[in-house]
Amino acid sequence: MKIAYPTGYNPLDVHSWSGLGLFISKALENAGAEIQYISSLKKLKTPEIWANKMLALLSGKKFYLDRDPVVLAHIARQILSRLERDTDWIFSPGSPYISRVEAPVRKAFYTGSCFAGMVDYYPEFSDLSQKTLRDGHLAEALAIQRADHIFYASDWAKSTAVKFYQADPGKITVVPYGANIEKPPAPSEIAGIISNRKSDVCRILFLGVDWERKGGSTVLETVKRLRKQGVEAELHLAGLHKNPVKTRDSWIFFHGFISKSDQAGRDYFRKLFLQSSFLMVPSKAEAFGVVFSEASAFALPSVSYLTGGIPSVISDGVTGILLDPEMDPARFSDEIGSVFSSPDRYTRMSEQAYERFRQKLNWTTAGQTILRVLQKL
């Protein structure tokens, strides 16, 4: 099966879109598909588009080029001009780029969210201009209408599409994103990984670029409370370019931003996952959270809020800990302390986290599932 894979960036760059463009395409290739990369698609910038952008900026609103119908029509023409004749599917890692593609070739997209779910949920999708709101909803509706099949990474994304755009549930398949790890631990390594973790020190790992949206301050307060409760707890911060914590307490370790583009960076990620007791990223808004899939690959329980697509990755009390956003965040330290103080419970949770990775949160399963669905249509 030949699949055209359109993107506005280099999909082979691990830094683009958190590496998802790369891992999705490789998952399809490994499942047996032939990929035609139609990458670095150009966004048209006309005087009218620039005027609309400046008008939005002057009014304090956000304007996005990649939702503009003129821009999307230009992208559609680029896709069709580079499309090979024997292509079976146009498969986009995102919905906007196929919204204006009118061709006899079958179309599908795979994404972690839809436009309606992101508006006023993520900070960058707040205070949008009226034009971007109109264009965004229209692009999403057209993509859903024109797609022969849709793949969402979470039940949240699916339900949002059905509710807001009347998407046909029958043409939607939920396929969770896998862990962006090239060589995850084998099943035979898991028992040793869990037993090698220190039982006398609770190491909390925060991994993310966005300290505010990812709930960094909540993690800091949680570790402080754990220590007040008598737990020997450490906080390890990674993924951040600057240390947001001004104090220099001996129990806080700042690892900085780590690149996955080289082996040294990948090895460092692996070391952090192996040595930590919990991954804690209590996001205020999260479409999915690939970092939770990555934690599961190392049998590491995750801690977060019950929001967005996170429940499709973490199962509360089974593979990690989830709190309702309305609950007192002090509950985090109580829940973590309860699990950590029970070696049997902690071991079971760690084992279940890896089992969830092995069954669902890996790119082999994702690629095979997607290709199997496409082949049946």
Cβ–Cβ < 8 Å for 40, 8: yes
192 shares its domain with 148: no
Q: Kindly state whether residues 208 and 337 are assigned to the same domain.
A: yes
The rounded distance, in Å, linking the Cα atoms of 159 and 302 is: 24
Q: Report how far residue 240's alpha carbon sits from residue 237's, in angstroms, rounded to the nearest whole number.
A: 7
Helix boundaries (H) for 256-309: 263-275, 290-297
Q: Longest Cα pair distance anywhere in the chain, in angstroms? A: 67
Global model pTM greater than 0.75: yes
> Confidence band (pLDDT; 50, 70, 90) for 101?
very high
Q: Are residues 119 and 204 in the same domain?
A: no
Domain that holds residue 126: 2-178+362-376
Percent above pLDDT 70 for the chain: 100
User: Which has more confidence, 260 or 83?
Assistant: 83
Amino acid, res. 258: I
Same domain, 171 and 118: yes
* 143 and 159 in a common domain: yes
Residue 114 has pLDDT above 90, yes or no: yes
Kindly provide the b/e burial profile for residues 107-145, where b requires at least 16 CB atoms within 10 angstroms of the residue's own CB: bbbbbbbbbbbbbebbeebeebbebbbebbbebbbbbbe
C-alpha of 251 from chain center: 29
**Same domain (yes/no): 138, 203:** no
Distance of alpha carbon 167 from alpha carbon 268, whole angstroms: 42
d(CA 229, CA 246): 23
Q: 261 and 348: one domain?
A: yes
CA-to-CA distance for 289 and 307, rounded, in angstroms?
11
Q: Give the pLDDT of residue 309.
A: 98
CATH code for the domain in which residue 126 is found: 3.40.50.2000
Instruction: Show the tokens assigned to 4.
Output: 């055209």
- How distant is the alpha carbon of residue 320 from its chain centre? 17
Q: Does 155 share its domain with 230?
A: no
Same structural domain, 173 and 200: no
> Tens digits of per-residue pLDDT, 9-59?
999 988 888 889 999 999 999 999 999 999 999 888 777 877 877 877 878
Q: Are residues 354 and 370 in the same domain?
A: no
Quickly count: other Cβ atoms within 10 Å of residue 342's Cβ: 12
Mean pLDDT of the chain: 95
What is the total count of domains within the chain?
Answer: 2
Same domain, 130 and 230: no
Pair (56, 167) in one structural domain: yes
